[in-house]
């Protein structure tokens, strides 16, 4: 095999967002190479649930169907949820959607399932070349990527797309800086098996210093989540206190359970200063997607949804204006605004639901009570939550 490959586009990062981008570009007739060190080439129905779960909303289910990947995902493992509930620290609940509705707000899908299904679609597409390996060096001006841990040493390209996560090597090589901050909190994830049935509803409960959430995985499996101070979570893990800590926080709503797997990660917000570069002077044609462009608090499970929306927006523009300067600039304008609004909204919701201030507390109480009594308002919230209405 030749050690040099020439392609129209190089996608660096072939996980969920990168795979979706590659499939969409290939559907529009572009020859695409996808570089990824760890393709998910296998998945089995008897696998334990992956700790990484995405609450994929209805608009992105439609997008995955357009990529011809949804049928494969659904045939693996995908659990619909019909209701989203939030609770403030005074025990006032707001329910969005209806557990008895025939139309789900979205689906809980393991990242491993998404990666596997999208990999299978890419492997079957004649315009996509999959390259196991790592990016060693990126010369974007000359359209050359040098690889390591790969049978291919070099890829020559016209366009390069960074879909390689929050520590993006593509973003760094392009010299694109970031802004952001740490939340000084971590996310504790525990997949559990319950004795009682789990309804097809997800919920989040806000306390002064913590947020508790549940993602339903099937009738007797769920992912229990605690957002808390990093030091607290580290202490619970080191002292083997997870069963005790989670039972105290979740038993009232889910009953007894057995922890099957657990993990944690730090929470931070990060935004690339630019989402794209199109330079006539240097010849660079590059764009960032998903976590390479933005990360936010995972409060409402918006991470991969925002990444898929990046890709869907970009592909829509490519269909109208091809891979052009107009497409790149318009993509950055539209998606940067939407992602920043979502990031600020998540922080505002978290602050508002936990606030101790008398005025905020009173306003929150009135708003929750009013929304609970206004079915049309709750229906509108449900449509927005599923992004079938914008």
User: In which band, very low, low, confident or very high, does the pLDDT at 88 lie, cut at 50, 70 and 90?
Assistant: confident
Give the pLDDT confidence score for residue 324 in this predicted structure: 98
Give the pLDDT confidence score for residue 303 in this predicted structure: 78
Mean pLDDT, range 191-198, rounded to an integer = 97
3-class secondary-structure state, position 317: helix
Is the model's pLDDT at 245 over the cut of 80? Answer: yes
User: In which band, very low, low, confident or very high, does the pLDDT at 371 lie, cut at 50, 70 and 90?
Assistant: very low
Q: 12 has which bridge partners?
A: 35, 162
DSSP string, 353-365: HH---HHHHHHHH
Stronger pLDDT, 67 or 99, i.e. the higher one: 67
* 325-354 helix and 358-372 helix, angle to the nearest 10 degrees: 110
CA 238 to CA 253: how far, in whole Å?
Answer: 26
Task: Give, for 132, the enclosing helix (H) or strand (E).
Answer: strand 128-132
The residue to which tokens 């529009």 are assigned: 28
The answer to whether 117 and 72 are in contact (CB under 8 A) is: yes
Which ranges of the chain would DSSP assign to H, the alpha helix?
A: 16-27, 58-66, 70-76, 111-124, 169-174, 230-238, 242-254, 303-321, 325-354, 358-372, 375-385
Task: Give, for 266, the enclosing helix (H) or strand (E).
Answer: strand 257-272
Q: What is the mean pLDDT of the chain?
A: 90
Domain coordinates in residue numbering, the chain: 4-353
Give the pLDDT confidence score for residue 357 in this predicted structure: 55
The answer to whether 41 and 119 are in contact (CB under 8 A) is: yes
- Which of 70-84, 326-340, 355-369 has the least mean pLDDT? 355-369
pTM above 0.75, yes or no: yes
DSSP string, 325-346: HHHHHHHHHHHHHHHHHHHHHH
Buried b (16+ CB within 10 A) or exposed e, 186-219: bbbbbbbbbeeebebbbbbbbbeebbbbbbbbee
Angle (CA) 306-312-313 rounded to 5° is 90
Give the pLDDT confidence score for residue 102 in this predicted structure: 86
Q: 268 has which bridge partners?
A: 182
Structure tokens at 109: 């899908």
Give the tens place of pLDDT for each residue, 129-183: 999 999 999 999 999 999 999 999 999 999 999 999 999 999 999 999 999 988 8
Mean pLDDT, range 348-368, rounded to an integer = 51
The residue to which tokens 């690339």 are assigned: 272
The residue to which tokens 């007894």 are assigned: 256
Stronger pLDDT, 245 or 97, i.e. the higher one: 245
The answer to whether 5 and 33 are in contact (CB under 8 A) is: yes
Give the pLDDT confidence score for residue 207 in this predicted structure: 86
Total residue count of the chain as it appears in this document: 390
CA 306 to CA 170: how far, in whole Å?
Answer: 19
Stronger pLDDT, 24 or 356, i.e. the higher one: 24
The answer to whether 152 and 10 are in contact (CB under 8 A) is: no
Give the pLDDT confidence score for residue 377 in this predicted structure: 46
User: In which band, very low, low, confident or very high, does the pLDDT at 2 lie, cut at 50, 70 and 90?
Assistant: low
Is the model's pLDDT at 375 over the cut of 70? Answer: no
Give the tens place of pLDDT for each residue, 262-277: 999 999 999 999 999 9
Structure tokens at 383: 């449509």
The answer to whether 103 and 59 are in contact (CB under 8 A) is: no
- CATH code of 4-353, in short, is 3.50.50.60
Give the pLDDT confidence score for residue 143 in this predicted structure: 98
130: phi then psi, degrees, rounded to nearest 5: -95, 130
CA 85 to CA 95: how far, in whole Å?
Answer: 4
């Amino acid at each position: 095999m030749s050690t040099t490959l020439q392609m129209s586009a190089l996608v660096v990062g072939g996980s969920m967002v990168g795979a979706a981008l590659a499939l969409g570009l290939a559907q529009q007739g572009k020859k695409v190479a996808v570089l990824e060190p760890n393709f998910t080439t296998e998945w089995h129905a008897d696998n334990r649930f992956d700790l990484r779960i995405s609450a994929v909303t209805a608009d992105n289910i439609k997008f995955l169907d357009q990529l011809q990947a949804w049928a494969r995902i659904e045939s693996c493992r995908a659990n619909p949820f019909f209701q989203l509930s939030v609770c403030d620290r005074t025990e006032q609940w707001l329910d969005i959607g209806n557990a008895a509705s025939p139309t789900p707000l979205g689906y809980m899908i393991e990242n491993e399932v998404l990666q596997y299904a999208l990999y299978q679609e890419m492997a079957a597409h004649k315009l996509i070349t999959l390259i196991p390996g790592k990016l060693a060096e990126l010369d974007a001006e000359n359209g050359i990527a040098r690889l390591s841990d790969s049978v291919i040493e070099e890829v020559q390209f016209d366009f390069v797309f960074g879909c390689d996560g929050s520590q993006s090597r593509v973003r760094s090589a392009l010299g694109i800086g970031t802004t952001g901050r740490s939340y000084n909190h971590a996310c504790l994830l525990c997949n559990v098996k319950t004795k009682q049935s789990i309804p097809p509803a997800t919920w989040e409960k806000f306390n002064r210093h913590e947020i508790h959430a549940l993602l339903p995985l099937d009738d007797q499996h769920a992912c229990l989540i605690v957002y808390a101070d990093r030091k607290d979570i580290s202490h619970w893990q080191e002292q083997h206190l997870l069963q005790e800590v989670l039972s105290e926080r979740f038993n009232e709503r889910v009953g007894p359970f057995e922890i099957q797997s657990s993990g944690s990660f730090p929470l931070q917000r990060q935004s690339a200063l630019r989402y794209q570069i199109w330079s006539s002077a240097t010849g660079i044609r590059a764009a960032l997607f998903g976590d390479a462009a933005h990360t936010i608090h995972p409060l409402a499970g918006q991470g991969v949804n925002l990444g898929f929306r990046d890709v869907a927006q970009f592909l829509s523009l490519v269909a109208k204006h091809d891979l052009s300067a107009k497409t790149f600039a318009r993509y950055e304008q539209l998606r940067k605004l939407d992602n920043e609004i979502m990031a600020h909204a998540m922080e505002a919701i978290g602050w508002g639901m936990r606030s101790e201030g008398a005025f905020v507390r009173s306003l929150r109480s009135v708003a929750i009570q009013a929304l609970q009594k206004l079915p049309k308002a709750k229906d509108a919230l449900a449509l927005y939550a599923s992004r079938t209405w914008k």
